Structure 1
Amino acid sequence: MIFDTELELTRLAKADELRQMGVSPYPHFLKREMNISEFKSKFGYIKELPEGERKAQEEVVISGRIKLKRVAGKSTFANIEDESDNIQIYYSLASIGEEDYTKFKKNLEVGDIILVKGYAFITQTGEFSLHASHITLATKAISPLPEKFHGLTDIETRYRQRYLDMIMDRDVRSDFLKRSIIISTIRRFFEERGFLEVETPMMHPIAGGANAKPFITHHNALGVDRYLKIAPELYLKRLIVGGMEAVFEMNRCFRNEGMDLTHNPEFTSIEFYWAWHDYFEVMDLTEELFATLLDKLNLDKIIEFDGQNIDFSKPFKRIKYLDALVEIGGLDREIISDKEKILAKLKEDKFEANDKLDLGHLQAELFDNYVESKLINPTFITDFPISISPLSRRSDENPEIAERFELFIAGRELANAFNELNDPVDQYERFKAQIQSKDAGNDEAHEMDEDYCRALGYGMAPTVGWGLGVDRLVMLLLNKKSIRDVILFPAMKPKN
């Protein structure tokens, strides 16, 4: 039996005792008339009435989980809580009758969910409360809640038993309500600008769309392996080929990589593709999105994250990739374009240096080690090395540069965007180069996707694409250090 502690066995016995009294511990078809927040709002006027008259005449039915219970002989005070708020209730032998009072005095406990009928009143100590005339047990809790004053302190338990975390901490529920608001605001933001939300496959025949290790599964009916979605990019761009001109998808992606404060193996991302626009316009759009989110959440333009003040005033800083290595990273310009000098610099400063990497990937090592952590306020890093941007359009002015940007905030990459490569021959050659990169040891390099190249062969209009990590965005806006605090059910190591 899963419920085998002394307290759980006692509660099971009480549930049986209630059944013997003809009371179901788990009834259904129960209706409340309003939530606690609505109750407080409707009857709040009684606080302004003269003393001795501060009570409502109307009785209503509310519900909640008992979070605190204090018995004083023939009367009881309890605190109940629903999703909206909490409130003190009072009931006595006189108000609910001797039979019910005796029954509930013994068998009603912290954790139980009840339906309460009564009227609003102000206690002698001045607390807005509900004076109960009838109580119905809605759900008998078998497992006791953690002790109130210490709450749920074990971090592992908080993530493994999110339901218990939410019961014990209203702020946790509030955070996930805000996450929902953020997601719905993003959807509305793009829909209002003419984007169409679409769905693409979660299982792919080829792992592509981003540099990452895939999860591999097997399709029994087809007898083939499939890869859980790393990113929806190549499918979304097929839709642009097909004639849709503004599409987005917000969905789960999966990457078979390590877990830390900013990485979970499954995560939520949003990507959009927009024909007849460019990455400069998308930088403006990204600034608009952040302004909309801050406004929706009633946040100032300067917010705190991990002890740092982040200034979202527009316009965000924009700086080219190579310039950032010099101006922000403090590197000599003569070093950043010389492979041997980069390798020497990395080794000198005790960073890993793989001499098989090309110049662009070595420049990325410089960026990761000398620049990224210094990008606190929102900063668009633009014009990336082409070799680390296999799906981006080449600059007409410099073929070694991709028309791409990434948005960094608080030392982390949050969004990635670029003018899309729509030359099918160039794309095919880039995929071939990725295969060579994989053979050289880059196990996150893209696979060859011949069908995608074939799709480009039918013609894709000039298009810009953009992607953003929703979980990291929520972390930023809610000031959470761990991605596990913004994912309802994060991945966890097995207990054993």
Structure 2
Amino acid sequence: MAEDLGTTEREIIAQRMKKAEALRALGVNPFGNGWQPAHLAADIVARYGDAPAEEIAKDPGAWSLAGRVLAVRSFGKAAFLRLRDRSAELQVWVKKDKVGERAFEVFKLLDIGDIVAAEGPATRTKTGELTVEATTFTILTKALRPLPEKWHGLTDVEQRYRQRYVDLVVTPGVRDVFVKRARIVSTIRRFLDERGYLEVETPSLHKPEEAGGAAARPFETHHNALDLDLKLRIATELHLKRLVVGGLDRVYEIGRIWRNEGIDRRHNPEFTSIEFYQAYATQDDLMKLTEELFHQLAVAVTGSARIAFQGQELDLTPPYPRVSMLEVGARALGLAPDDALAGRGLAEALGRAAARENDSEGSWKLEQAAKKSPGEAIALAFEIFGEPQLPKDRPAFVVDFPLETSPLSRRRDADPRLVDRFELFVAGMEVANAFSELNDPTDQRARFEAQMKAKAAGDEEAMPYDEDFVRALEHGMPPTAGEGIGIDRVTMLLTDSPSIRDVILFPLLKTRE
């Protein structure tokens, strides 16, 4: 069963195909069906725990398992297998005098990676390992391609993402990341369901005039039967708010979003978000809800409100501090907030900031910001200078967004130059974005018109003019607050994963020749 490490993969596959034919000769289908295990490895571990061999012998049970073989130690007429199923790993002891001549002939055709079935009582070996002593054994699926011998030694780290099916088998901890991801989603669902929210589904294919809800470039496609150009959604926002108009006062959707943007440690062109909307609520209501949600997520997934992320200890216990984008962004430029909003001295301040900025991209962005509105320039200054100064040991809400940065947010009554909006940052990442929704159709129409001017001036991320959404607002949308949360980034935080590609099962990668 041991394979020559110098043998080429093609030769290994040929050898395993011969073993598949030998199984057929023994009357065993090497790609069988119809065998269902009665137990999981975790059931056996839970049943016996640390019980000594003498205690297990009093009630060894009759256990039925199936799973993938990860290791084999053979001793002539007996062998120990390391078997993994969906719950845990467990040792299986295969002895010729226990399973019989024919089953042992089947066993001798085994390779690491095969999926097998075994039945028998539990025992504890002399080395103290909990084990199932097989009385029946068979191979259910022959693995024709070998598992990598030294997966962590691979220099091409992208192979883990390209062959996630192998990564899940051989890389410790990967499966646990995606189990926790599923727990995050289910916890969010339960959290919102308990508060009277209704889960809905909205279109993924949008007409060009509907592809809004965020500042992003969409992917484009074409429907042949209707001869219709379409875009993949960049947000679920505008359709969900239509539902609030229709009387669904609390709605949410968990779904895939597509944005035609770059790929880096925190961005993937397709990702998962949840957006939820609550009538008769404000951004302040959602801040409290967000604190409760993130605290509950941390406890549900990690067992504690204190988590570790990339060497940094974080405490997700509420309340979270609030940081003013306006004040921090303006003062980073050496201006008073009112002067910055009015544009007084802004161009000169941006020039000075660009000159002292060490990062060439940041310097270029600051120079270009002089061509934008004062609000956009303040937001950029905050991004460059303010975000790195946010608390490192706990989440923080960024508030006081200038009007120009938020075409769908409600103006602040006390200061119409700002909007009622917040973003939640944790460990330097934006993980949530929320605001009191704009429900004035006249104001919304003017904001869309401003976006169209920006698009005509070359802003590829400006939103389209969605006349049907304005029409919906004209029917009356109650005072509403809405929020979007990135599931992938939350998963990064709660699984201590450095890259978004670590928490997406099949991330988009460049094609290999």
Mapped to 2, the partners of 1:58 and 1:183 lie a distance apart of: 37
Give the TM-score taking structure 2 as reference length.
0.92
SS of the residue corresponding to residue 200 of structure 1 reads coil
Report if aligned partners of 2:103, 2:138 keep a CA contact under 8 Å in 1. no
Mapped to 2, the partners of 1:290 and 1:463 lie a distance apart of: 21
Residue 287 (structure 2) aligns with: 283
State which of 67, 75, 80 in structure 2 corresponds to 1:72. 75
Mapped to 2, the partners of 1:73 and 1:136 lie a distance apart of: 18
Report if aligned partners of 1:253, 1:266 keep a CA contact under 8 Å in 2. yes
Residue 5 (structure 1) aligns with: 10
Equivalent position amino acid for 1:169 in 2: T
Aligned-residue Cα RMSD (Å) equals 1.9
Mapped to 2, the partners of 1:192 and 1:153 lie a distance apart of: 47
User: Which stretch of structure 1 is more off in the superposition, 283-292 or 346-355?
Assistant: 346-355
SS of the residue corresponding to residue 52 of structure 2 reads helix
Residue 188 (structure 1) aligns with: 190
Residue 413 (structure 1) shift: 1.2
Mapped to 2, the partners of 1:277 and 1:458 lie a distance apart of: 19
When residues 408 and 103 of structure 1 are mapped into structure 2, their CA distance, relative to the original with a 3 A threshold, is closer
Residue 3 (structure 2) aligns with: none
Give the TM-score taking structure 1 as reference length.
0.95
Mapped to 2, the partners of 1:244 and 1:388 lie a distance apart of: 28
Residue 405 (structure 1) aligns with: 422
Residue 434 (structure 1) aligns with: 451
Residue 83 (structure 1) aligns with: 86
Residue 301 (structure 1) shift: 2.6
* Structure 2 gaps, min length 5: 1-7, 358-362
Mapped to 2, the partners of 1:311 and 1:341 lie a distance apart of: 40
Residue 346 (structure 1) shift: 3.3
SS of the residue corresponding to residue 5 of structure 1 reads helix
When residues 238 and 150 of structure 1 are mapped into structure 2, their CA distance, relative to the original with a 3 A threshold, is closer
For residues 375-390 of structure 1, the aligned pairs below 5 Å read 375=390, 376=392, 377-390=394-407
Residue 306 (structure 1) aligns with: 310
User: Which stretch of structure 1 is more off in the superposition, 360-369 or 56-65?
Assistant: 56-65
Residue 4 (structure 2) aligns with: none
When residues 125 and 347 of structure 1 are mapped into structure 2, their CA distance, relative to the original with a 3 A threshold, is closer
For residues 481-496 of structure 1, the aligned pairs below 5 Å read 481-496=498-513
State which of 244, 263, 269 in structure 2 corresponds to 1:265. 269
1:341 aligns with 2:348: yes
Residue 348 (structure 1) shift: 1.6
When residues 386 and 264 of structure 1 are mapped into structure 2, their CA distance, relative to the original with a 3 A threshold, is same
Mapped to 1, the partners of 2:295 and 2:152 lie a distance apart of: 38
When residues 212 and 149 of structure 1 are mapped into structure 2, their CA distance, relative to the original with a 3 A threshold, is closer
User: Which stretch of structure 1 is more off in the superposition, 409-418 or 342-351?
Assistant: 342-351
When residues 148 and 132 of structure 1 are mapped into structure 2, their CA distance, relative to the original with a 3 A threshold, is farther
- Residue deviations 1:361-380, cap 9 Å, x none? 11111011101122232111
1:226 aligns with 2:246: no
Equivalent position amino acid for 2:385 in 1: Y
- Residue deviations 1:77-130, cap 9 Å, x none? 11111111111111222111223223422x111111111011111112222111
Mapped to 2, the partners of 1:495 and 1:6 lie a distance apart of: 24
For residues 324-403 of structure 1, the aligned pairs below 5 Å read 324-325=328-329, 329=332, 331-333=334-336, 336-337=340-341, 338=344, 339-350=346-357, 351-352=363-364, 353-354=367-368, 355-375=370-390, 376=392, 377-403=394-420
Report if aligned partners of 1:55, 1:121 keep a CA contact under 8 Å in 2. no
Mapped to 1, the partners of 2:372 and 2:230 lie a distance apart of: 29
Equivalent position amino acid for 2:205 in 1: M
- Residue deviations 1:259-314, cap 9 Å, x none? 00000000000111111011111100000001111121244333221222222222
Report if aligned partners of 1:15, 1:25 keep a CA contact under 8 Å in 2. yes
State how many pairs are aligned.
Answer: 490
Residue 20 (structure 1) shift: 1.9
- Of all paired residues, the percent bearing the same amino acid is 44
State which of 220, 241, 245 in structure 2 corresponds to 1:216. 220
Report if aligned partners of 2:107, 2:138 keep a CA contact under 8 Å in 1. no
Equivalent position amino acid for 1:370 in 2: F
Residue 24 (structure 1) aligns with: 29
When residues 393 and 414 of structure 1 are mapped into structure 2, their CA distance, relative to the original with a 3 A threshold, is same
Mapped to 1, the partners of 2:127 and 2:423 lie a distance apart of: 57
Residue 326 (structure 1) shift: 5.7
Residue 10 (structure 1) shift: 0.6
Equivalent position amino acid for 1:35 in 2: L
Report if aligned partners of 2:106, 2:139 keep a CA contact under 8 Å in 1. no
Mapped to 2, the partners of 1:349 and 1:240 lie a distance apart of: 48
Mapped to 2, the partners of 1:429 and 1:87 lie a distance apart of: 65
For residues 80-229 of structure 1, the aligned pairs below 5 Å read 80-105=83-108, 107-147=109-149, 154-205=156-207, 206=209, 207-229=211-233
User: Which stretch of structure 1 is more off in the superposition, 17-26 or 53-62?
Assistant: 53-62
